[in-house]
A and B are shown apart, each in its own frame.
Chain A
Amino acid sequence: MNENLGILFSGGKDSNYVTYLAKNAGNTISCLITLSSKNPNSYMFQSVGNEIIDMQAKSLGIPLLRHNTEGEKEKELEDLKQALILAKQNYNITGICTGAIKSCYQASRIQKICLELNLVCYNPIWQIDEDKYMNELLRDKFEISIFGIFSYPFEKPMLGKIIDKVQLDKLKQLRTEFKISIAGEGGEYESFILDSPMFKQKLVIKSFETKMDSENSGIITNCDVELVEK
């Protein structure tokens, strides 16, 4: 099936994985659509890693359509709609792909906008089993870095950690103790992808700072990143 798709792209594991799935399903990925939200607590859009997302686009070789939003609840949906209109006009997309997994709030709002714009909305990891999903990500060599933490029991040392087999086992242990989602579906953490099977070059972080709002809430910021050959 060959469709011109735009990916609703945050730079995290979910949007990168659906980019991979959409490409493997035979589609053309015409653009990555990023809503740059000024509100770090937006219900709809991830803001961590946003400042270096163009490095991922460059490595993927896919144009990035960046659209700003204040991130105000419901009003940000109008910003999303405008971004999708631009993607339709500039890249002739016939549909979009999202990384929605469990959030009916997010998924239903995007579905409504797509219906209004006559765009097909694909959610290829919708309802995916989180254990299988995390294993698939590691199997397919996605390098997942933790760029934001937002709840107990996550603490500052987790920021910048790569989710490999060892970290995944630690997340599973935290799930047993504290009932967290190992995929971060409860908003426990946000990820940023440094390498994937689709990246032509990988991202290497030379330095970063952390900004903590509380003991269990903080993000990576001022990230100095370079692209290096794989």
Chain B
Amino acid sequence: MKCDEILIINLNDKANTLHKLEYIKPIMEIIQKEGKKVEIINYKDLKSKIIRKYSHIILSGTGLLEFEYLNHLNKFDFIKDEKNKDKYILGICAGCQVLQNIFGAEETNTTEIGLHNPDILLQDKILERESLKEIYTLHSSSFETPKQFQIIAKTKIPQIIKYNNIYGTLFHPEVRNHQIIKNFINFE
């Protein structure tokens, strides 16, 4: 299993290379600056033999009007699969909503766009050297927190959630909180 290479699953439309520049490239560059490699795959192309190769997997954010991935949630069944329980998963924004969705949470439809100051409710290794002073949010929908998950930080709604090795950030850490991504990719 590859620890020095991170898999980013792009939740945007496959043909949409402009959104790829906006939501994937910044994450990719943070990882590469940490000396690790990145493979990017569109969620529609996911196969279990690809998933098997990686220990750390990131589900990307999407454009505000992009919801097609919600019609393909079966592509993310691997996250709940017992044989993948040792993998580290980080869902960012839409990726976080995928986690909330597949673990059975209800939709709440809260829109947040812009900078926010969240409250930290729980100390966790994802927050090492990260004050979370400011976060950049960009979502027009949201979900309740599934009962298995703990809430690490919140604004009026949860912003970082965790269940075992699975993390979700409703905000975009690639904008103001690079340390979160650095912490995640170095989890052992």
Contacts and interface: CB of A to CB of B under 8 A. Distances in A.
Number of contact residues on A: which range applies?
20 to 34
Interface in B2-23: 13, 15-19, 21-22
B47 to A, nearest CB: 24
Given A22-B18, A111-B64, A121-B64, A127 B26 contact: yes
Contacts of A129: 29
B16 A1 contact: yes
B22 A123 contact: yes
23 contacts: A1-B15, A1-B16, A21-B21, A22-B18, A27-B18, A97-B18, A104-B176, A108-B138, A111-B64, A112-B113, A112-B114, A114-B64, A115-B64, A115-B111, A115-B140, A118-B65, A120-B65, A121-B64, A122-B18, A122-B63, A127-B25, A127-B174, A127-B175
Nearest to B176: A104
Contacts, number: 61
The 10 closest A-B pairs by CB, nearest first: A108-B114, A127-B26, A1-B15, A124-B21, A122-B18, A25-B17, A126-B22, A124-B18, A108-B113, A123-B22
B136 interface: yes
Contacts of B114: 104, 108-109, 112
A222 to B, nearest CB: 37
Given A118-B65, A122-B18, A127-B29, 16 more contacts: A1-B13, A1-B15, A1-B16, A1-B17, A21-B21, A104-B175, A108-B138, A109-B114, A111-B113, A111-B138, A122-B22, A124-B18, A124-B21, A126-B21, A127-B25, A129-B29
B115 interface: yes
Interface of A: 1, 21-22, 25-27, 97, 104, 108-109, 111-112, 114-115, 118, 120-129
A26 B20 CA distance: 14
Contacts of A122: 18-19, 22, 63
A140 to B, nearest CB: 15
Contacts of A128: 25-26
A111 B17 CA distance: 18
Contacts of B19: 122
A120 B114 CA distance: 17
Contacts of A115: 64-65, 111, 113, 140
Nearest to A115: B64
Nearest to B13: A1
Nearest to A24: B17
A9 to B, nearest CB: 16
A118 B13 CA distance: 17
Contacts of B174: 127
A203 B145 CA distance: 56
Nearest to B178: A127
Contacts of A1: 13, 15-18
Contacts of B111: 115
B136 A104 contact: yes
With a 10 A CB-CB cut-off, give which of A27, A97, A127 has the most chain B CB atoms.
A127
Given A21-B18, A22-B18, A121 B63 contact: yes
Contacts of B18: 1, 21-22, 25, 27, 97, 122, 124
A128 B185 CA distance: 20
A198 B122 CA distance: 52
A21 B65 CA distance: 20
Interface string B107-119: 0000101110000
Interface in B29-82: 29, 63-65
Nearest to A25: B17
Nearest to A123: B22
Nearest to B15: A1
Contact of A125 (B17, B21, B65): B21
